Structure 1
Amino acid sequence: MRCVIRSKSSSSERTIGTASAALRLLTVAAAYYLAGGLGLIRGVSVHGAIVTPLWPPTGIALGALLFLGLRAWPGIALGSLSVIATLSDSVSLLTVVVVAGNTLAPVCSYLILRRAGFRRELDRLRDGVVLVFLGALAGMVVSATVGTCMLVVDDNLPLSGFWPVWTAWWSGDATGVLVVTPLLLVLRTVRMPRATDRWIEASALAVASVAVSLVATRTSLAMIYLVFPLIIWAALRFRLAGSAPCAFLVSVLAVVAGTQGVGPFEGHSILHVMVNLAVFNGSVALTALLLAAVVTEQSNIRLRIQRACEELAEVVERLAPGRSPGRWPSRPDDEPDGL
């Protein structure tokens, strides 16, 4: 009788586990599809190929892999297939290969990050460097190369347009990782704000970010780099929780202005705009990630030193009862006069 009960229980647990895994994959696919729809709103044509200055699905895909591991790849493939299906009438070899490239690129980025010892907390400088240069810039070479090569092989792109399309494809995918993935890593640690939080400063930063970003991306004057003091402010005071949303806001407004051809992007060709957006958004993401990581790392080092000093003070107290070590370590004003 016990064997029958255990068998039924195990079967139920397997069913629940399978349903839960399927739900996770469908959630990843749905998020990828929705992000793709948003990205295509600002799609532009380069030599007949539809590319975007910011492709959010790559950030969604890498974030899903960082949270769920390699078992998230079927959801990424399904989401990519759904997005491409909205652009073509039928599924062809080109579609299958592009879906494979879009899936393989974030998987390669994930494996590289795991090999490099990347931590999702982004609390070390090396984590920011690895995410930027290996996860985004290096990993997205795969999707850009596979997709552009297939366009050429399928006679949908002349050979002379290979590098312009490849550059636009790669920069859009890399920017998606740089802008969206850190935001997802921040959202996983979201908590209800407390009364002791810096409400006034956070509100001032939010208002200033929107106002300055709109002015910088809409005026014809060369003022777009006014956003960097805001990103520095966000990183120094609020770390990744402040710099990631700020970088996301700035990048989105810059992409909107670039695709509309207004502000500092007025009068330039599509390829020129794409290159400028790639450089700008890359600089924004690099500043936000690395500075926030440095501030977090330094804060963690101070906390570890403080805990070590407190433990040492407890040891001294046990070895010499009644002789309190006082403040530890001593500060410069504790030294005798004349030293």
Structure 2
Amino acid sequence: MAAVVGFEVLRRPAGLVVATPAVALCYYAAGRLGLLRELVVEGAVFTPIWPPTGVAVACLLLFGLRCAPGIALGALLVIMSLTSLRPVVIGNLVGNTAAPVCAYLLLRRVGFRNDLARLRDGLALVFLGALTAMLVSATVGVGLLLLTDRLGAHSFWPVWLAWWVGDAMGVLLVTPVLLMLFAVRLPLDLSRWKEATGLALCACVLVPAATRSSVSLLFLVYPLLIWAALRFQLAGSMLCALFTSVLATVAATDAVGPFEGLTRIEVMIKLQAFNGTMALTALLLSAVIAEQRNTRRSVERACQELVEVLEHLTAGEAPPGRPPKDPED
């Protein structure tokens, strides 16, 4: 209850004073985590998963555009931790702030729901929130590198692709997890804690083995994702996908397991292809399952109401919610 009250405070106009530094701090912390693992493509350093984009999009979906100043401040803190204040920093700041805002506007335009309980919501997050909106930050960021002669023209597309996919992965992997955590209410349903524990133990054994083995065994994580989605929907599938993606990124940056002996471009392509397909599988499969379950509940509820109406009609009574008919009419 205290957490809910805290979130409601952030929704109020006066909460902007609290929301801005809070969002900035979360963005900065996510940025520092993302910078722990880096890859080099054509001389440019990038992160395979950029968590701040996921944090920014989630904050905007939860609290609205009032979070934009906090996102801009957080982006500035991350940039300033890497370089000195220069005119090009302003361009990067604009791009890193505009991309999540663009994602928010596109998602709200199509009626996106934060519970991701419909297939259309999963598709919207993938194609609008991640793949389309993150074109802004990638184009602005790499374009500035090109204009300031810090990047050759021949390296534009590989670096642009790495930047774009890294930002998109942040949205696909981090945003659903944060939206899910926001929706959690206490007390938790622990009726299937044994199965959840078994799933977690399997993930802790199977995922490190698949991402560190010299034999290409990455495909082994997909049955795990399907199990998590079928039994625990978004919570299970996205946590499993995030855990797997982090370990795969660690293996790729260490050049071990299935990424051993590959060139930097090949490592980037293999890692991002794996992370992308895994995130899509987890997100869309859980959305389909949730939608089907909601549809089944609606049908069952309608059938139950129909049975009640028929029982009342058979007994000569008025159906529930309707006044009895006047005999004189």
Structure 2: runs of 5+ lacking an equivalent: 1-10, 318-329
**Aligned match of 1:296 in 290, 303, 312?**
290
Residue in 2 that maps onto 1:152: 146
Q: Quick check: 1:81 aligned with 2:76?
A: yes
Q: Distance in 2 between matches of 1:195 and 1:94?
A: 50
Q: Report sequence identity in percent.
A: 54
Residue in 1 that maps onto 2:219: 225
Q: Distance in 2 between matches of 1:119 and 1:54?
A: 24
Report SS of the residue matched to 1:81: helix
Residue in 1 that maps onto 2:300: 306
Deviations 1:114-133 (Å, cap 9, x if unpaired)? 11111111001111111111
Deviations 1:207-257 (Å, cap 9, x if unpaired)? 111211100000010101100000000000000011111010000000010
Q: Distance in 1 between matches of 2:233 and 2:308?
A: 32
Residue in 1 that maps onto 2:116: 122
Cα offset, 1:196, TM superposition: 5.2
Residue in 2 that maps onto 1:165: 159
Q: Distance in 1 between matches of 2:206 and 2:316?
A: 59
Q: Distance in 2 between matches of 1:316 and 1:104?
A: 56
Cα offset, 1:50, TM superposition: 2.0
Structure 2 length normalisation: TM-score?
0.90
Q: Distance in 2 between matches of 1:178 and 1:52?
A: 15
Deviations 1:62-112 (Å, cap 9, x if unpaired)? 0011001111111111100100001112x1121000110011111111111
Deviates more, 1:185-194 or 1:258-267: 185-194
Q: Distance in 1 between matches of 2:37 and 2:281?
A: 24
- C-alpha contact (below 8 Å) 1:231/1:243 kept by paired residues: yes
Query: CA 1:33–1:196 in structure 2 vs 1: closer, same or farther (change >3 Å)?
Result: closer
Q: Which protein has the larger Cα radius of gyration, Structure 1 or Structure 2?
A: 1
Q: Distance in 2 between matches of 1:93 and 1:68?
A: 30
Give the superposed CA RMSD. Answer: 1.7
**How many residue pairs are counted as aligned between the two chains?**
308
Cα offset, 1:195, TM superposition: 6.8
Residue in 2 that maps onto 1:55: 50
Cα offset, 1:48, TM superposition: 3.0
Matches within 5 A, 1:72-111: 72-89=67-84, 91-111=85-105
Report SS of the residue matched to 2:203: helix
Residue in 1 that maps onto 2:20: 25
Q: Quick check: 1:205 aligned with 2:230?
A: no
- C-alpha contact (below 8 Å) 1:186/1:244 kept by paired residues: no
**Aligned match of 2:255 in 240, 261, 264?**
261
- C-alpha contact (below 8 Å) 1:234/1:246 kept by paired residues: yes
Residue in 2 that maps onto 1:140: 134
Cα offset, 1:177, TM superposition: 0.5
Cα offset, 1:28, TM superposition: 0.8
Letter in 1 for 2:70: G
Cα offset, 1:274, TM superposition: 1.3
Q: Distance in 1 between matches of 2:61 and 2:188?
A: 28
